[in-house]
Chain A
């Protein structure tokens, strides 16, 4: 067992109002530069919709992520390593800038310079790539709120497999927002695709980054990521991606998208997992079993055995403690209400989603039923093929079971809390019917509805002192020895951890002073 810690995220889709604040603040912080005009490390898509870049979810077109070869072994979807290298001169799977949206700005000077008396001077759209006049035809958010629905939403790859009738009914009743960042996967195909070895996963917190000095611009990571969350900076000729705001995470602060989210729907915290099990889980034969397989990789931080082993493997005590208090672990593994986005890509993504219940209750309401009655909503969840099957295409490789279970649990939370707060009797066996206890549902209510800042974000600061440890020992050897080289005896390790798990160094060879 190799225990690793991962900073992971959960987003509660019920609360997203599609305001794009997260997108804007992320853009301002990270991609507000020439060469990244078209880049959104965080983007919010309307579902159903084609996505950004167009139809990125259709891996039969883009060949991102992993697949299984005939013998059931994990293989890159785009073929062998040799095949990759032979096609390095032209990458057949790379989206073009038009798939993201040709970035544009406006010729504002004409407004300022227009002679006095000009009626309605107008600024023309100009391409940020060439500076020439252009007609705006597509952008990262072109189909926001189902704009142009019949033309665009029908292109949503997640609608594949749903019958025409379902598809048609779909648009009239069902819409939600999907904020997306890099998944910081446990089995990141972007890293596996990078021929230079410039991309890496950090051992301490699992954040996936591009080494800007080692990237040589072979641009395979861009097509290799099934979520299309690595981007090519066309000015520097290097790949860039969501960094999970690592400078903030290292300081114990949430990412900028989470921090500024209007709906306060993001959760950040640690998940402990067994790195030795990752590849087996990713190679699970049936894609529908991948959700359960990924759950089996996670370790229970409350298990004393796991805690002891994690300590032995060098995970600091305050990190283990943070893992125990992690809202992400609670939502993913304890309450099982969060689901992974497109597990069938086999990258074991680590930004999970609580599927939206609101569209379902809306339908129930519209049908004239009482949306307070869990029985009716339960029945609706069973009967409504539309949201369940569609959500299953997003979150469970098409298996509606887990989606329906989560929606029922969320309904039960609402019903129990409504009853409690109105002083009514909580329906009997309500909690059991969704495989939970009353306390579980109360916990979920607290986590999802009250959602205090401190409970949404449990991020232990990085242990930067570990990096300096070797240097301190080094100086101790050569500078701090009394009596000179003759009396040289390497001192026993003078480092110790405090209660919080922080490493301390005692630079005096005489021991504690």
Chain B
């Protein structure tokens, strides 16, 4: 570790752990103190034509990408082989499905971000954290998919398993290999760093709405009754206007 600078230590060791810590503590804090701010903060009322395309494309693309990562990471190769899927088919499927998801997400983010910039009504409701989120998402997906397409499919190939992967695994075993990641091409570095950053931003952005996916709706009775009940007074410091500080530009 002789030739690692303090900056490198910060980006490749401190940042990931910090981001994870902020992610966990931030969510606990926000869940407890900011139920009122926990929302998708829809802007469909203000603008619907662009949202009609941007939002579904983006979300379905994101779900595709998440599913792809889950399949790729969790399902071992021998399983797919056991049910008779040859390696080449699997590769072809994952490459094309992955590309499709990437294209959808990129198109979606571009539409959503463009809409936030250009449509005055939406722009007026946009807080800095909205821009940061969208830009980070765009950067992550671009730096994730560009090398896959240009380097691995069209170019000479690059094996990130010798640089990014050891560092990444090291983070979880407590000895991240900083030199390895520091020597990776810049796209991979940007991808990794911005991916960690978005975890840190997550609890303070509208992204928290993802945890509230209302699947329960499929089972619950249509009409909800509630009886008036005695509610304990709010915890000290939890009332007041605190929630306004998150995600609201005005």
**Binary CB contact string for chain B from 199 to 239 against chain A (1 if under 8 A, 0 otherwise):** 00000001001001011111010111111111000000000
Q: Contacts A130-B121, A191-B223, A467-B228; is A94 near B45 (CB within 8 Å)? A: yes
Contact residue among A81, A212, A236, A462 (Cβ-Cβ distance under 8 Å from B218): A81
- What residues on A are CB-neighbors of B38 within 8 Å? 216
B55 to chain A, nearest CB (A): 4
Of A94, A201, A235, the residue contacting B224 (CB under 8 A) is A201
Residues on B with C-beta less than 8 A from A129 are: 46, 120-121, 124
Interface size on A, residues (CB 8 A): 54
- Which residues in A have their C-beta under 8 angstroms from that of B35? 213-214
Whether A195 touches B224, Cβ cut-off 8 Å, given contacts A90-B55, A219-B42, A237-B41, is no
Question: In whole Å, how far is B250's beta carbon from the nearest beta carbon of chain A?
Answer: 7
Instruction: Scan B29-50; emit 1 where CB is below 8 A from any A CB, else 0.
Output: 0000001111111111111100
List chain B residues, Cβ under 8 A from A471. Answer: 230
CA A342 to CA B124, docked complex, whole Å: 37
Across the interface, do A215 and B220 meet the contact criterion of CB distance under 8 Å?
Answer: no
Given known contacts A90-B55, A96-B45, A213-B36, A34 and B212 CB-to-CB distance under 8 angstroms = no
| Count of B interface residues, CB-CB < 8 Å | 47
The answer to the question of A352 belonging to the interface, with a C-beta cut-off of 8 Å to chain B, is no
Establish whether residues A204 and B218, one from each chain, have CB atoms under 8 Å apart when the complex forms: no
On whether the beta carbons of A219 and B44 are closer than 8 Å, the reply is yes
Closest to B108 in A: A89
Do the beta carbons of B230 and A467 come within 8 Å of each other? Answer: yes
Instruction: Please name the residue on chain B nearest to A4 by beta carbon.
Output: B225
A195 close to B217 (CB less than 8 A): yes
Docked-complex contact B230 and A236, CB < 8 angstroms: no
Residues of B within 8 A of A92 (CB): 52
Provide the bound-state CA to CA distance between A36 and B116, in Å: 21
Chain A nearest CB, measured from B206 CB (Å) = 8
A177 to chain B: closest CB distance in Å?
Answer: 27
**CB of A196 within 8 A of chain B?**
yes
Contacts of B121 in A (CB 8 A): 97, 127, 129-130
Q: How far is the CA of A196 from the CA of B215 in the complex (A)?
A: 9
Q: In the complex, which residues 99-151 of chain B have their Cβ closer than 8 Å to any Cβ of chain A?
A: 120-121, 123-125
Q: Which residue of A lies closest to B40 (CB)?
A: A217
Q: Is A42's beta carbon under 8 Å from chain B?
A: no
Inter-chain contact B224/A467, CB cutoff 8 Å: no
A77 to chain B, nearest CB (A): 13
A:456-512 near B, CB below 8 Å: 462, 464, 466-468, 470-471
A194 to B40, CA, bound (A): 14
- Residue of B at shortest CB range from A34? B250
Q: A129-B121, A216-B40, A467-B230 are in contact. Are A197 and B45 (CB under 8 A)?
A: no
Are A218 and B230 in contact (CB-based, < 8 A)?
no
Does A243 have its Cβ within 8 Å of any Cβ on chain B?
Answer: no
Q: Does B248 contact A (CB under 8 A)?
A: yes
Contact B39 A237 (CB under 8 A): yes
**Residue among A192, A234, A467 with the most chain B CB within 10 A?**
A234
- A168-216 at interface with B (beta carbon < 8 Å): 187-188, 191-192, 194-197, 199-204, 212-216
> B56 contacts the other chain (Cβ, under 8 Å)?
yes
Q: Does A197 contact B217, Cβ atoms closer than 8 Å?
A: yes
Closest to B219 in A: A81
Give chain A residues whose Cβ lies under 8 Å from the Cβ of B214.
Answer: 85, 88, 195-197, 216, 218
Measured between beta carbons, the chain B residues less than 8 angstroms from A213 are 35-36
B55, B212, B223, B250: the one within 8 Å of A187 (CB): B223
Is the beta-carbon distance between B230 and A468 smaller than 8 angstroms? yes
A188 x B218 contact (CB < 8 A): no
Q: Which residues of B lie under 8 Å from residue A291 when comparing CB positions? A: none
B134 to chain A, nearest CB (A): 15
Contacts of B45 in A (CB 8 A): 94, 96-97, 219, 232, 234
Min CB distance B118 to A, Å, is 12
Name A200's contact: one of B36, B37, B51, B224 (CB within 8 Å). Answer: B224
Query: Inside 8 A of A203's CB, which chain B residues have their CB?
Result: 225-228
Query: With a CB–CB cut-off of 8 A, which chain B residues contact A232?
Result: 42, 45
Task: Kindly identify which residue among A89, A94, A191, A215 contacts B222, using a CB–CB cutoff of 8 Å.
Answer: A191
Chain A CB within 8 A of B59 CB: yes
Complex-state Cα separation, A197 to B221, whole angstroms: 9
Nearest chain-B residue to A96 (Cβ)?
B48
Residue of chain A at shortest CB distance from B60: A89
CA distance A92 to B51 in the complex (A): 10
- Is A277 engaged at the interface, CB distance under 8 Å to the other chain? no
How far is A131 from B58 in the complex, measured between Cα atoms in Å?
A: 30
Most chain A beta carbons < 10 A, residue from B37, B44, B45, B216: B45
Instruction: Give which listed residue, A91, A94, A200, contacts B226 with CB less than 8 A.
Output: A200
Q: Say how far B64's CB is from chain A's closest CB, in angstroms.
A: 13
State A468–B39 Cα separation when bound (angstroms).
32
Assess whether B44 is in contact with A94, with CB atoms less than 8 Å apart. Answer: yes
Closest B residue to A469 by CB, please name it: B230
Does A84 lie at the interface of the complex (its beta carbon under 8 Å from any beta carbon of B)? yes
Q: Is the CB of A234 within 8 A of B43?
A: yes
A235-B46 contact, Cβ under 8 Å, with A197-B217, A200-B226, A217-B40: no
A85, A89, A217: the one contacting B39 at CB < 8 Å is: A217
- With A85-B214, A90-B44, A129-B121 as contacts: A188 and B223 at CB distance below 8 Å: yes
Complex: chain B residue closest to A198, CB-CB: B224
Among B36, B44, B60, B212, chain A packs the most CB atoms within 10 A around the CB of B44
Q: Does A367 reach chain B (CB closer than 8 Å)?
A: no
CB-contact partner of B225 in A90, A131, A201, under 8 A: A201
User: Which of chain B's residues have a CB closer than 8 A to the CB of A197?
Assistant: 214, 216-217, 220, 224
List of A residues within 8 angstroms of B218 by Cβ: 81-82, 85
Binary interface encoding of chain A residues 65-98 relative to chain B, with 1 for a CB under 8 A from any of its CBs, else 0: 0000000000000000110110111111010110
Closest Cβ of chain A: how far from B37's Cβ, in Å? 8
A81-B218, A129-B121, A196-B212 in contact; A204/B39 too (CB < 8 A)? no
Cross-chain contact A238 with B225 (CB below 8 angstroms):
no
Interface residues of A (CB under 8 A from B): 34, 81-82, 84-85, 87-92, 94, 96-97, 127, 129-132, 187-188, 191-192, 194-197, 199-204, 212-219, 232, 234-238, 462, 464, 466-468, 470-471
4 additional contacts (CB under 8 A) given A216-B39, A219-B42, A464-B228: A82-B218, A89-B56, A96-B47, A195-B214
17 contacts between A and B (CB under 8 A): A85-B214, A90-B44, A90-B51, A90-B56, A129-B120, A129-B121, A130-B123, A202-B227, A204-B228, A216-B214, A219-B45, A237-B41, A237-B42, A466-B228, A467-B228, A468-B230, A471-B230
- In order of increasing CB-CB distance, the 6 nearest A-B pairs are A195-B214, A237-B41, A217-B39, A192-B222, A213-B35, A237-B39
